[in-house]
Structure 1
Amino acid sequence: MIDLIRLDALLASTILLIGLSLFTTCSRRHHKKYPPGPRRLPVIGNLLDMPSKEGWITYKKWSEESGCDVVHADVMGSHIIILNSAKAANELLEKRSSIYSDRYDVLSLRSSIVMGLSFAHVFLPYGDRWRRLRRAFHVHFHSTASNAYRPLEIQAVQRLLRNLLSSPDNFSQHLRHMTGQVILSIAYGIDVRPEGDPYVAASEKVLKGISHVSSSPWALLLDMVPWLIHIPSWFPGASFKHEAQKWLPVIDDMIETPYAYVKEALAAGTATPSVTATMISQLGAGSTEEDIWVTKAVPGIIYSAGSDTTVSALSTFFLAMILYPEVQCKAQAEVDSITCGSRLPDFSDFNELPYVNAILKEVLRWHPVSPLSFAHRVIEDNIYEGHFIPAGSTLIPNVWAIMRDPITFPKPDRFDPERWLVKEQPPSSDAVFGYGRRICQGRFMARDSIWAAIVNVLATFDISPVKGDLPKERYSSGIVSYPEAFVADIRPRSVAAAALVRATGLN
């Protein structure tokens, strides 16, 4: 009973302090002109306006209503700035990256009190630990280093083709297996089982947890108002914490089990070359706990994050081929002109397939894997086009809105690879990988994996709607967005194409 009284007193005091802080802040900055946004309520600000799903659509609407590409929301004193144009994102996150590269503390995912993804540098604030992880990651995944993984990607794609041939109805699961095979072989040198692989299953559990936690309305509130982490999980409305903590042992298993596997294989002299094997071998006698942590964190980042985005992009590709059969036919004709149907395409054909390459760019644009890019945090007061952006503000690049700008991308709702082949091409589709010093370092490997799957599926299969069941363009919310589950009629293009696929199993 005494504890309850103390808790009530703590909450009341905290609310009072927040109110005083907001009053002081507003008094001090009332003369500042924030970017436009929805009308704020006392104390809670725009808390009730924040969308729980499809935020990219809501934020774009705010921008259209205000006539400004940068909009502002206030959640209990925390400032959120949404960037709805490439111009704003480039100006702030690229040109002013020295002050816009920090990250607000994503407590809902990072804290060991909640989900425990502290090893992922995407959630870390700008600082020494983040820089060290970034340097270590760069060694293994810069553009040239990533080329070394192409043979592994081709092997995984060929297994995907065989799986599509044997059980096409399970294409979604086959995509997950393919990306799991690529990542586990690169990160740990693990050759995954054809079915029911425990490492792939562990990764899927973690991804499910991330999606579940990040899409919770409580997650945004916790990230914006960090003191809420101290509220016990039994408190009304705080059951989110209890749910998130269920994933802690899953995450621990995902990091520690494959690491132990590589360590034991190195001791036995049976280890396959991998990022983890290389990093463990480089640990010296004087290695610190931090050194070991980095050695676990780098492959853990690949393992936990890499497959999700690739599966999302390839699922969008399958959906687009169903809805735009003319695009599929044109791409298949281009591939056939290079291979003559007598072999499977590979990376040596990349420069000879401009239309297929345009499909890859359009897949990334049409429905970005992360419609709302990971938020940045500005470390000092700043001004953008007359609007005040206070230090500590969270900035969210609305990649979906940027990629749907009708001026840059005419008829943006249409899947149209031709837009990337005209003389005056749109800007790069790299915005889907983030901005500035926070751009995704695994983008070269991811792009290669997606391209290899797209070109080989086009070479060997026809993707069509199941009779009477044309899928809708509906996508999930969360850090990574997926098409709503749909069915597809996937068949080999010919007897010769099926034979090419079967032959890959004889190599």
Structure 2
Amino acid sequence: MPVFAQYDLLVAIVVGFSGLVLFVIRSRKRRLPYPPGPKRLPIVGNLFKIPSQEAWVTYRKWSEEFASDVIHVDVMGAHIFILNSMKSASDLLDKRSSMYSDRPRLTVMQELFGMDYNIAFAPYGSAWRHSRREFRANFRPADLETYQPLEQRAVHRLLGNLLSSPDNFVQHFRHMAGQVILSITYGIDVLPENDPFVADAEKVLQSIAVGTGKEAALLDSIPWLIKMPSWFPGARFKRYAREWRLIVTGAVMTPYDKVKRELASGAATPSVAANIISRLDENSTEEDLWVAKAVPGTMYLGGADTTVSALQTFVLAMTLYPEVQRKAQTEIDQLVGNSRLPEFSDQDGLPYVDAVLKEVLRWHPVTPLAVPHKVMESDTYEGYYIPAGSTVIANAWGMLHDPAVFAEPGQFYPERWLSPGAPAFPNQAFGFGARQCPGRYLARASIWSTMVGILAAFDIEPTEDGPPEEAYSSGFLSYPMPFRCYIRSRSKEVASLVQATESEG
């Protein structure tokens, strides 16, 4: 037998034996069961059991019903694993982040609506790692002090707006958040009202709500539906795609192009976008160009959601829990007095206000189910099998409402954060593992400075109709449903202080 023939035979034997070993190993893994979950129907699986309202509550109940921290759901053959405990999230998303840091493809958001420039949805890989480095370079905790004067001015303008038109508090929150993030990312000084960039960000958040709803989730689970005609059930998003795509891409490209023009003319204001774009040249790769658009775009569009939703939750909580409001105001009055408004330098002396911030993020996290993760290779966990390509959902709301960790979790009770042995911070509100929100430190600072300013200057009270209902939207981003309350100046002296401080800013 020729030497090369003997070699080919040897290779065939080695490959065949390796394949057999791999098959046996995989077969053994497959013999492991999936975690427990609701009973599945043939073909469709659990498609009709996925809740359309407050899914995080249902997932928490499933965990109790099936006595498991991890729940398995099957949607048309697509495997979804729901983590309902801090331990399972830590074990998989944190400790095994190298396997769990990918993202499932969001068909509606990315392919139809054009949300490819959002780092939060980007697949794991070189471009994502590059963008993450750029993001962190601008939002390191040690560097946040440079943004404090900007945040303080934005809060002072907000307080003035609340003084003149308190009923529009949600719109004022959006404007304040936009003022901070647009200045940092693009060097844009927003208009006092009706700013087009703030309006664009709000429209994009609306597109995210549409593109991550239950019908969109069906398309994400069954991508071939995208090829169906727009009249086909479940494919109606194709009719909206053109409109939403223009909104989403325009929101990223309009400020990006503005900074490019200003750099070319020498009139650019220092910003994250200007810093990144100025480093582009003829040798820049497609990845470099993507990062230059994605990093400031994600900061801009993602910077508003956490802040605005959390501040609405804060106002709702103060309306429903007046005793918490009084206690926080007393702490502020004792430290700050009535001759000035609180500043960032006061934070260490206001532990109860800090506890209110933590409780706001725990009580109703902005992204109750976080952003889904995707498993990059097959894994086993506590005797269960998790195949590669599966979607993993971390139920942040469920973890932050675990009665074993937080007694009476439905109650807004800041004192829980001041008790011995209390968790340091509700980090689950900002995601998990390597995909945790890199802008969380700026968000925390913005929320704290706004909260303490409002508490120092205003009383928040129910209307004559009584306390509002504690009701939230059920999308990927969860907001309090519209409600009314009274926001009144605490005194004439405080009102004069707010007016004077606003004019100085």
* TM-score over 0.5 (shorter chain): yes
2:483 is matched with which residue?
Answer: 486
Q: Secondary structure at the match of 1:368?
A: coil
TM-score (norm 2): 0.92
Match of 1:119 in 2: 117
From 127, 130, 134, give the equivalent of 1:129. 127
Q: How does 1:71-150 map to 2 (within 5 A)?
A: 71-111=71-111, 114-150=112-148
1:456, distance to aligned residue in structure 2 (A): 0.5
String of CA shifts for 1:338-374, please: whole Å, max 9, x gaps: 1111111111111111000000000000001111111
Write the deviation string for residues 129-149 of structure 1: whole angstroms up to 9, x where unpaired: 111111111111121233321
> More deviation in 312-321 or 461-470?
461-470
Please say which of residues 410-419 and 287-296 is displaced more in the overlay.
287-296
Partner of 2:57: 57
In structure 1, C-alpha distance between the alignment counterparts of 2:263 and 2:151, rounded to whole Å: 24
Counterpart of 2:14? none
Map 1:416-455 → 2, pairs under 5 A: 416-426=413-423, 428-455=425-452
For structure 1, which segment, 34-43 or 276-285, has the greater mean C-alpha deviation from structure 2 after superposition?
Answer: 276-285
Q: Is 1:44 equivalent to 2:28 in the alignment?
A: no
Deviations along 1:281-302, whole A, 9 cap, x unmatched?
A: 2223422343222111111111
Partner of 2:12: none
Residue 228 (structure 2) aligned to one of 228, 231, 235: 231
The residue type equivalent to 2:80 in the other structure is I
Q: CA deviation at 1:385?
A: 1.4
Partner of 1:496: 493
TM alignment of 1:249-268, pairs within 5 A = 249-268=246-265
State the match for 2:181 in structure 1: 183
Paired AA for residue 68 in structure 2: C
Distance 1:62 1:426 in 2: 25
- Distance, in Å, in 1 between the alignment partners of 2:466 and 2:132 is 45
- Distance between the aligned counterparts of 2:412 and 2:28, measured in 1? 48
| CA distance in 2: counterparts of 1:351 and 1:127, whole angstroms | 39
Matched, 1:320 2:317: yes
**Alignment check: 8 A CA contact 1:373 1:397 kept:** yes
Shift of residue 379, structure 1, vs aligned partner: 1.6
**Partner in structure 1 of residue 19 of structure 2:** none
Say whether the 8 Å CA contact 1:141–1:442 is kept in structure 2. Answer: yes
1:302 to 272, 276, 299: 299
Bigger Rg, structure 1 or 2: 2
* Residue type of the alignment partner of 1:402: M
- Residue 491 of structure 1 deviates from its aligned partner by 0.7
1:467 aligned partner, one-letter code: E
2:29–2:385 Cα contact (<8 Å) kept: no
- Separation in 2 of the partners of 1:63 and 1:423? 28
Provide the TM-score with structure 1 as the length reference.
0.92
Counterpart in the other structure of 1:14: none
Measure the CA separation in 2 of the matches of 1:245 and 1:187. Answer: 27
Identity within the alignment, %: 56
Matched residue type, 2:418: L
What aligned pairs does 1:467-478 form with structure 2 within 5 A after superposition? 467-478=464-475
Maintained 8 Å contact 2:372/2:391: yes
Which stretches in structure 2 are left out of the alignment for 5+ residues?
Answer: 1-25
Q: Structure 1 CA distance, aligned partners of 2:345 and 2:502?
A: 21
More deviation, 421-430/484-493? 421-430
SS of equivalent to 2:128: helix
For residues 409-437 of structure 1, what are the alpha-carbon distances to aligned partners after superposition, in whole Å with 9 as ceiling and x for unaligned? 00111100000011121353011101110
Distance 2:487 2:241 in 1: 38
Aligned to 1:165: 163
Segments of structure 1 that go 5 or more residues without pairing to the other structure are 1-25
**In 2 relative to 1, CA 434–237 (structure 1 residues): closer, same or farther, beyond 3 Å?**
closer
| Distance in 2 between residues matched to 1:231 and 1:146, nearest whole Å | 48
- Counterpart for residue 212 of structure 1: 210
Read off the aligned partner of 2:313 and give its amino acid letter. T
Q: Any conservation in 2 of the 1:209–1:244 contact (CA below 8 Å)?
A: no
Question: Is residue 2:388 matched to residue 1:391?
Answer: yes
Give the structure 1 partner of residue 377 of structure 2: 380
In structure 1, how many angstroms separate the alpha carbons of the residues matched to 2:250 and 2:67?
Answer: 49
2: CA distance, partners of 1:263 / 1:223: 35
Name the CA distance, whole Å, in 1 between partners of 2:286 and 2:398. 43
Kindly state the Cα deviation for residue 30 of structure 1 after the two structures are TM-superposed. Answer: 6.7
1:362 match: 359
CA RMSD of aligned residues (A): 1.6
What is aligned with 2:13? Answer: none
Structure 1 contact 409–426 (Cα < 8 Å) conserved: no
The answer on whether the counterparts of 1:110 and 1:118 sit within 8 Å (CA) in structure 2 is yes
Asked if the contact 1:115/1:245 (under 8 Å) is kept, the reply is yes
Q: Give the whole-Å Cα distance in 2 for the aligned partners of 1:296 and 1:381.
A: 33
> What's the offset of the Cα at 1:231?
2.0
**2 CA distance for matches of 1:497 and 1:200?**
29
- Give the equivalent residue in structure 2 for 1:282: 279
